[in-house]
Chains A and B, each alone.
Chain A
Amino acid sequence: MAESKKETFMANIWKNNPVIVQILGICSALAVTNNMTNTLIMGIGLTFATGFSSLTISALRKYIPKNVRMIVQVLIIATYVIILDIVLKAYLPSISKALGPYVGLIITNCIIMGRAEAYAQSHGPVLSFIDGVSAGVGYSLILLLIAFIRELLGFGSIFGLRVLPESFTPWVIMITAPSAFFIIGTIIWIARTPLVKKK
């Protein structure tokens, strides 16, 4: 337990980033990144769900029987995601409508389960919470970067605000899923080069 809170936080942002290093949560990285507003909400949602699931799983870790721990983890994760879904429906109906089925799909986002298994099982609640939140933030940052490129070139806008002139021809490929493959691949390549060299 020598790790400090800051180290735990920073690890997930860069050295151990869930998307570019652990290659987790790729499906949602492809699905929601064609506009930045949806991506941001998805990121906030995931951060909330990962943070609190890690906290809860860590707090209960000494009582959870080993043979049912996965079931329990999914139960806890699903509970937070459904809470999130209800809150969005009640207070941010337009965003809830825009995200549609993706909120529910946070349950199956491998990052949450990954952090629960890899970290929350063996660390205290506070550190686990920080770990969960930072994994969410690391995920959101990469997704926002992808969404920035895709929305800028695909629609000529950022957060729905037009920034490129009307004469700009949108790149249709940026709106469709394949572009996310290219961009995510390029980002992983660029980001990991210094990381690999260090080793």
Chain B
Amino acid sequence: MKDKLYSVFFAFALTLVFTLVLASINALASGTIEVNEKLDFQKSLLYVFGFVQKDDKLSSKEIQELYGEKIVELHGEVDVYRAQVEGESVYAFTVQSPGLWGTITGLIAVNTDGTRLVGIDFVQHSETPGLGGRIDEKAFQQQFRDERISAGPSGRIAVVSGQNTSSSEDSKVDAITGATRTSEAIQKLIDKAMNEVFPKVLKVVN
């Protein structure tokens, strides 16, 4: 009986100590993590509008300055970010949709009538590194730049394989080899963005 009590007591005390250690490390680091995440998000926004390139190395000050200068935040039912790209208004918003392993959070910029996708980035996902994880790569995302968004409720921008997708009028982009499920998930994410989130975006803007 004494042994059992000791075990319980020991496990309890040790858990308490380690939890306290973790909690304090987390509290110390959470500020830095939040700043990182915010900067990351702001850079993503600048990228989807096409103000910076994916692989541009920007200091945090540059990001903040450019962000403050170019982007207007509108808060409502959904958060909308507005910017002027080549004299036209462009709206950016986030959309969440299931991926292969977890939720993919995409950031999408479209023109005012929702017929052109200006840019796309994935701010959070847990796809397989090297396979589905390649949705982070410039080559994949670049295909979406200025791609026409078709009117239909599904396959707004089809992610296909083995087809010629070079035209930006055909609403088709090339899928990732070895990541079929992730490619399908991206197509669904864009459908969801246009069918469910975009109408709310328009409500916020008008």
Chain A interfacial positions (CB closer than 8 Å to B): 31-32, 34-35, 38, 60, 63-65, 67-68, 71-72, 75-76, 79, 82-83, 86-87, 89-91, 93, 97-102, 172, 175-176
Contact = CB atoms under 8 A, between A and B. Distances in A.
Interface of B: 3, 6-7, 10-11, 14-15, 18, 21-22, 25-26, 29, 32-33, 36-37, 40, 101-102, 125-131, 133, 136, 177-178
Given A79-B21, A100-B133, A102-B129, A71 B36 contact: no
B32 A91 contact: yes
Q: Is the interface of B mostly helix, strand, loop or mixed?
A: helix
A56 B99 CA distance: 38
A101 B125 CA distance: 10
Nearest to A86: B29
A100 B6 CA distance: 39
Contacts of A86: 25-26, 29, 33
B130 A175 contact: yes
A90 B33 contact: yes
B129 A65 contact: no
B129 A99 contact: yes
B127 A100 contact: yes
B15 A75 contact: yes
Contacts of A63: 10
A197 to B, nearest CB: 36
B129 A35 contact: yes
Contact of A31 (B21, B126, B128): B128
Contacts of A72: 10-11, 14
Nearest to B122: A97
Contacts of A65: 3, 6-7, 10
